[in-house]
Amino acid sequence: MKKSLLICALVALSFSCSDDFFDLKPQGRASLEQLSNKNGVNALLIGAYSLLDGVGAGNTGRQSTISNYVFGGISSDDAVKGTDAGDQPEQSFIEQYNWLSDNTYFLGKWWHSYDGVARANEVIQIAASAAVLDMTDAEKLQVTAEARFLRGHYHFEAKKMWNKVPYIDEKIYNAGDPNSTKIPNTDDIWPKIEADFKFAADNLPVTQAQKGRATQWAAKAYLAKAYLFQKKWAQAKTLLDDIVKNSGKKLVPNYHDNYRTTGNNNAESIFEVQFSVNDGTNGNNGNAGDNLNWPYSATAPGRGCCGFYQPSHNLVNAFKTEDGLPMIGAAGDGSLDTYNKVDLPNDQGIVASAAFTLDKTVPVDPRLDWTVGRRGVNFLDWGPMPGSTWIRDQAYAGPFTGKKWMYYLAEENSTTHSTSKRNVNNNYRLIKMSHVLLWLAECEVELGNLAVAQDLVNQLRVRAKTGSVQDPTVTYKVEPYPAGTFAAKGAEYARNAVRMEQRLEFAMEGHRFFDLVRWGIAEKVLNKYAQEEAVAGKEPSGRAFNKRGYMAGKTFTQKNLYFPLPQDEILNSQKDGQPTLTQNPGY
């Protein structure tokens, strides 16, 4: 008490002594009063958008990067972990279906999803406050619509990861009460995700002045995607038809235009996660979440780290063609496909110093070399990919490297951050017109309209045929399906063709595992993949080589359709001594 009186005495010349003097505001954070205005609401909304890239939720970023390369890529038949056996064992466990609830990658993804939900809810709460006097009702409505779009996205990410997850809206969420969000995960939250996207679609404009903000078309496309995950084909078709006919979006002429900085926010884009570099920050506004996934050489893009996320032989083989068409059969689960019986020539097991000439006579879809780096094939403008000098441990991880997020040598420094060449401003295209066309083709197959589905698939195949190619010395051969093919070969063939086209078009973009699960074929496809990737490969010449022997005996079971809820979050969910979250079956 004496100390308080002394302080009052010292400041008495200029301040009256009152309780307000001791009411110190927290440093480094804005108060509710400061945020209750147009600028404050918009700042909160930007904060909710900022988590779209997966960076900034208190984890490493790679655990929740928008590309989902760990959960959607290396857990599928598209990719292997890469690097070497000892690095990031948490990723190795995920790749090999050894999923435990204490894996930090699951925890990091959970943190990110629900941090994004919390940020979106705060926007909705403050925008609805009567204390915000400098915003019109229309402005508040649009902000709320954008926040609900984001809330739908973050819940969608959680739903496809764990299936049984809690849905937390602005009525449940209370930042001042940690127990407010401790609710059960027993209800199916699809209806609430749908409601968020429906509200956004009804209230967002068709265009936005600022790139990266959600639009009506983005919300409709996301709602259609939610319907696809539930097999609501007719509802999805209505929305997708609307986008095709009325959005003004279209395929760009060259496939590769969607995977370089100069193609950011192009005519095909429906919703992109924005990246920027050399903007006065430390580089995390670039694609920091994917910064492990670069060739392991100082002479390569990224300049020397870290060799993760390498394409599988299975994926590379999928790009082989016969008479310009994929080597697939009439089984929706791919069990009759023949592309993986003989491997595409490669330099597995051949040191970089040894003489090597790639056999480029096997016909392939040109999208292969815009997706995968192969020895002897041009790598953007870096010259031919040199082989194992770009690979951290070829014997362990294979001879290929990813490519879609790489930059051109001529664009280094302008498209890369000054302190890290691996943080780039090449946006992640979350939803493109190509997604819409192939989702619509999927609906048409399921609704029995096989000829329409074929026409939609052929739009992508014609683009692949007529667009630019990476290396003119490679034998590229891709053709549209001849008229009547889907109808003649039947629904199972058509279904498989649409699924294969989605794999080829979006390879290494983090969608594959989640597609396999929603199609109901994950268990069959991934067990076949593990068996085939574990044994020796064989080229057309007869040369044998080792693949990924560590996949021998690895088994994908029903429990692996969804990841385990993080054990820490189950413990943290306790109320009155009992957890409110229930673990997924089998864990």
d(CA 524, CA 334): 9
Q: How would you class 452 by CB atoms within 10 Å of its CB: exposed for 0-12, middle for 13-18, buried for 19 or more?
A: middle
First to last CA, the chain: 57
Q: Is residue 258 in some structural domain?
A: no
417 and 355, same structural domain?
A: yes
Q: Is residue 164 in some structural domain?
A: yes
Q: Is residue 498 in some structural domain?
A: yes
Q: Is residue 9 in some structural domain?
A: no
Instruction: Answer for the pair 163, 559: CB distance below 8 angstroms, yes or no.
Output: no
511 and 421, same structural domain?
A: yes
pLDDT at 268: 98
DSSP 278-307: SSSS-STTSSGGGTT-S-SSTTSTTSS---
Instruction: Answer for the pair 98, 50: CB distance below 8 angstroms, yes or no.
Output: no
Q: What's the token pair of residue 266?
A: 């192009």
d(CA 360, CA 356): 12
Q: Is residue 441 in some structural domain?
A: yes
pLDDT at 128: 96
Q: Is residue 267 in some structural domain?
A: no
311 and 162, same structural domain?
A: no
What string of pLDDT tens digits covers the 587 residues of the chain? 333 322 232 233 333 344 443 444 555 567 778 889 999 999 999 999 999 999 999 888 999 999 999 999 999 999 999 999 999 999 999 999 999 999 999 999 999 999 999 999 999 999 999 999 999 999 999 999 999 999 999 999 999 999 999 999 999 999 999 999 999 999 999 999 999 999 999 999 999 999 999 999 999 999 999 999 999 999 999 999 999 999 999 999 999 999 999 999 999 999 999 999 999 888 889 999 999 999 999 999 999 999 999 999 999 999 999 999 999 999 999 999 999 999 999 999 999 999 999 999 999 999 999 999 999 999 999 999 999 999 999 999 999 999 999 999 999 999 999 888 999 999 999 999 999 999 999 999 999 999 999 999 999 999 999 999 999 999 999 999 999 999 999 999 999 999 999 999 999 999 999 999 999 999 999 999 999 999 999 999 999 999 999 999 999 999 999 999 999 999 999 999 999 999 999 99
Closest to 442 (Cα-Cα) out of 237, 239, 157, 148: 237
Q: In the block, which residue shows the tokens 């969910």?
A: 573
322 and 440, same structural domain?
A: yes
386 and 417, same structural domain?
A: yes
Instruction: Answer for the pair 491, 449: CB distance below 8 angstroms, yes or no.
Output: no
507 and 418, same structural domain?
A: yes
569 and 506, same structural domain?
A: no
Domain harbouring 407, CATH code: 1.25.40.390
Range of the domain at 566: 32-204+562-579
512 and 571, same structural domain?
A: no
67 and 150, same structural domain?
A: yes
478 and 381, same structural domain?
A: yes
Q: Is residue 200 in some structural domain?
A: yes
Q: Is residue 323 in some structural domain?
A: yes
Helices assigned H by DSSP within 23-170: 32-35, 38-50, 89-95, 104-127, 137-162
515 and 468, same structural domain?
A: yes
566 and 506, same structural domain?
A: no
- pTM over 0.85? The answer is yes
Total domains in the fold of the chain: 2
